[in-house]
Amino acid sequence: MAAQAGARPRKELTNAFVVAGGRVLLGMKKRGFGEGKWNGFGGKLQQGETALEAAQRELLEEASVQMLDPQLVGRVTYTYEDMQEELLVHVFRATRWTPEEPRESEEMKPCWFALEDIPFANMWADDEHWYEHMLGGSSFFTANFAFAKDHKTILQHDVKLDPLSKTSQ
Ligand SMILES: CNc1ncnc2c1ncn2[C@@H]1O[C@H](COP(=O)(O)OP(=O)(O)OP(=O)(O)O)[C@@H](O)[C@H]1O
């Protein structure tokens, strides 16, 4: 069967980060996909929702935090050898938020990390390839990752940077 480029069904998700004062807010996923890993806050877009609306909703649901200056800073796609769907993740960053301290939810245990102490050993293997671009903020990044069946081994990846003006959509 011919594998056509772009023929995979695609699921859209968000991943949102609050970054300020040399720290980033991450959450320990307590259940489901990625359980036991630190990550940003996010999930699947609901019907009729924009990526920005979904990013705000998920961060509010998972950590009771509202982003005041959310900015789309990148997009990451994931494919897995054992999964037909491609995941497209819209990555947001905010430097202003409210209230000051997040609140733990059923899904996530939030914690602030110094930028030099991000726990990459307890995160998805792709994260160390794009976090510097998410944190840095001078370019829009696009990254693609193909994972093996073990969901740990990266078979192929690329990361590209573009002028930040692309984030204004
Ligand atoms: C493979 N490498 C990966 N690297 C970094 N982050 C990854 C990821 N794969 C998925 N993610 C993120 O993990 C969250 C899953 O969210 P997930 O719990 O599945 O969604 P949602 O909350 O809608 O699910 P429920 O159906 O409500 O449980 C979501 O932020 C998504 O961006």
What are the residues whose beta carbons fall under 8 Å from the beta carbon of 113, sequence distance 6 or more?
A: 23, 24, 25, 26, 38, 119
What proportions of the chain, in percent to the nearest 5, are helix, strand and coil? 20, 45, 35
What ipTM was predicted for this assembly? Answer: 0.91
Atom of ligand 1 nearest to the CA of 16: 30
Residue spans of the domains in the chain: they are: 10-163
Span from the CA of 14 to the centroid of ligand 1 (angstroms): 8
Nearest CA to ligand 1 atom 32: 15
Span from the CA of 43 to the centroid of ligand 1 (angstroms): 5
- Pocket around ligand 1 at a 6 A CB cut-off: 13, 15, 32-34, 39, 42-44, 78, 87, 89, 124, 126-127, 147
- Altogether, the residues listed in the chain come to a count of 169
- H-helix segments, the chain: 51-63, 127-136
| pLDDT tens track, the chain, 169 positions | 444 555 789 999 999 999 999 999 999 999 998 999 999 999 999 999 999 999 999 999 999 999 999 999 999 999 999 999 999 999 999 999 999 999 999 999 999 999 999 999 999 999 999 999 999 877 899 999 999 999 999 999 999 998 765 544 4
Span from the CA of 1 to the centroid of ligand 1 (angstroms): 30
CATH classification for the domain delimited by 10-163, as one of 3.30.2130.30, 3.30.365.10, 3.90.79.10, 3.30.479.30: 3.90.79.10
The token duo for 59 is 């961060």
Span from the CA of 161 to the centroid of ligand 1 (angstroms): 23
- Tell whether the torsion through CA atoms of 51, 56, 60 and 64 is positive or negative: positive
Helix, strand or coil, per DSSP, at residue 26:
strand
pTM of this structure: 0.92
Atom of ligand 1 nearest to the CA of 40: 30
d(CA 144, CA 126): 9
